[in-house]
Structure 1
Amino acid sequence: MFVSCSNSSPDFRGFTLILPAVSVGNVGQLAADLIISTLDMTKVGYIYTDCLVPVVGNNPYATSEENAPELSINAEVYSLATKKLAVIQIRSPIVKNKSRSFCQLLISWVKKNGFGRVVLLSSSHAYQRDDQQLAGTPFRYLLTPALQSTVGDLMQKLDWKLLESMVAFPGVSEAEKCIIIPGGGITKRLYTDSCTEEIPLAVLLKFCSEGDNMPDAFALVNYLNEWLQLVQCTNSDGTMASTKWKVPSSWRLLFGSGLPPVLF
């Protein structure tokens, strides 16, 4: 599954692993872009699997003409040893009927490498919220039992909102409720599988709509930063600082290259 860029595989024991769900607005993937670009993380390998649609392109984090031609594929792993942080960036959808296999593949890799915790960045359709989800912050979180015991109190201090359970069969049975994440891709499956496999996983998601989702990505990564403190967010006097996230060069073509002048 994991193919290292060097002769030896990196040691991820105790690392925090961040990965995006391919979900509405691609918010998790855009947020992962900001983390990798800002922290100048090093590509240490890639995920080889038939569960993802094949894709190849130029270096999305190019900083000069020299490294721009470097190739990137559908799932790559970046690392920053000084922060004990690893990020999987996923750049293509999951092949139909392969989501279960992909989740099991991820869980197996997490166990094998001894990651300390996993954070899944996701999003959900804003228009499918129920009444209780319309009020307050657009952010929600979920924790597996394996992580609840260690960070549950911190989430309370941060005043974060747990994702509410929704009625499974509206108009039929109001008593039966479950976690529903419309537009969330593999989010619910990976969460439930991680609960079963005792993986310390947190889901951080934002309610949003399709469109220009760059502001949603900035908001989600700032939400994550409240917890993990990946970049400095307070001044020396203790006041809140404006967090500076570095936009990758690939975002210049996020909506295409524009209309050709010859049309006018």
Structure 2
Amino acid sequence: MSNFTSCGSFSPSSFASATLILPAVSLGNVPQLTADLLIFSLGLKRVGFVGRGDTVAPFAGRGEKGGEIVTGVIEVYGQEGSELYVIQQRSPTLKSQKDRHITLLKTFINSNAFGAVLILTSLDSAIQNDAQLLTPYQRIIPPSLSSLPSQLQKIQNIPPLSLSLSQPAASVQNITSSYPPFLPAAGLTRRLLTALLEEKMPIPHGAIAAWCVEGDNRGDSRSFADMVLYVLDLQDVVQVQEPASWEGLFGTTEGWSGGSGADAELYG
């Protein structure tokens, strides 16, 4: 049984061989903000939903267009016949539903035969070493992946992630290899990477991790969107633009605002 509900006349057959951008809910919500920028800048439309929304916190709000509603359901954006689709998850995964949530995404990806999956995640800058201060983005690729599809070839130009952190004692018992690596503050990224490798013939995939801190993360998200467009070889044809919904994202421009207002220094 399909776990995807289409909007209008959209056909899931369009997913076959396409690239899926999958943001993980992680530090600073940078992947979600990056997905917002990609959706708006690429002119993508909502084509459907994954699941029923019962694995994430309930949420609803007004969208960019009059009458449009955005929800806590896992939304999928793209266009009929497009080679690129973006998932947007606007609320966190329920703690009691983490396993179901991962299974939901895994089933959606595998049953629709995507050609490649690119996971976006974020890590705490506080754990960077001196060398990593010069590398704002690092890649995570399964060592068992013999080759990358053309859609992800340029991810190899990003330095590989290297962390020298002690793993929590509770998780060490369940580790059978060094992949996926321990990813503090990266949400369900590690579980996603593990789930995608469980198939006999896993769909080619990888992840890009962005170093960040909590605060006004618009700048981090714009830079991350530029990096994703570079990997997808779209950097010369798409200019990143902020959607209207970002007005007042971190406060207004007057008074105790934060954001880009007079008190922006509060956010670093």
With the shorter chain as reference, the TM-score category is 0.7 to 0.9
| CA pair 222-146 structure 1, distance change in 2 beyond 3 A | farther
Helix, strand or coil for the counterpart of 2:211? strand
Contact 1:168–1:177, Cα closer than 8 Å, also in 2 = no
Counterpart for residue 104 of structure 1: 103
Contact 2:116–2:203, Cα closer than 8 Å, also in 1 = yes
Letter in 1 for 2:37: L
Which stretch has the larger CA shift, 189-198 or 50-59? 189-198
Inter-partner Cα distance in structure 1 for 2:79 and 2:143: 27
Counterpart for residue 18 of structure 1: 21
Deviation of 1:108 (Å): 0.7
Q: Does 1:250 align with 2:206?
A: no
Helix, strand or coil for the counterpart of 1:253? coil
Inter-partner Cα distance in structure 2 for 1:68 and 1:144: 43
Counterpart for residue 202 of structure 1: 206
User: Structure 2 matches for 1:112-261, cutoff 5 A?
Assistant: 112-129=111-128, 131=129, 134-144=132-142, 147-150=145-148, 154-156=154-156, 158=157, 160-169=158-167, 179-197=181-199, 198-232=202-236, 244-256=239-251
Q: Mark the runs of 5 or more structure 2 residues left unpaired by the alignment.
A: 257-268
Deviation of 1:135 (Å): 4.2
Inter-partner Cα distance in structure 1 for 2:98 and 2:66: 32
Contact 1:117–1:147, Cα closer than 8 Å, also in 2 = no
Q: What do the CA deviations read for 1:231-259 (whole angstroms, capped 9, x no partner)?
A: 426xxxxxxxxx62121111003124577
Inter-partner Cα distance in structure 1 for 2:241 and 2:194: 33
Helix, strand or coil for the counterpart of 1:88? strand
Contact 2:27–2:185, Cα closer than 8 Å, also in 1 = yes
Deviation of 1:213 (Å): 0.5
Q: What do the CA deviations read for 1:69-112 (whole angstroms, capped 9, x no partner)?
A: 21111221111346411111110000013222211111111111
Helix, strand or coil for the counterpart of 1:19? strand
Where is the strand percentage greater, Structure 1 or Structure 2? 1
Deviation of 1:221 (Å): 1.2
Inter-partner Cα distance in structure 2 for 1:153 and 1:90: 26
Q: Does 1:43 align with 2:46?
A: yes
**TM-score normalized by the length of structure 1:** 0.81
Contact 1:57–1:73, Cα closer than 8 Å, also in 2 = yes
Inter-partner Cα distance in structure 2 for 1:126 and 1:165: 12
Give the root-mean-square deviation of aligned CA atoms.
2.7
Helix, strand or coil for the counterpart of 1:244? coil
Inter-partner Cα distance in structure 1 for 2:148 and 2:212: 29
Deviation of 1:143 (Å): 1.6
| CA pair 244-177 structure 1, distance change in 2 beyond 3 A | same
Identity %: 33
Inter-partner Cα distance in structure 2 for 1:211 and 1:260: 17
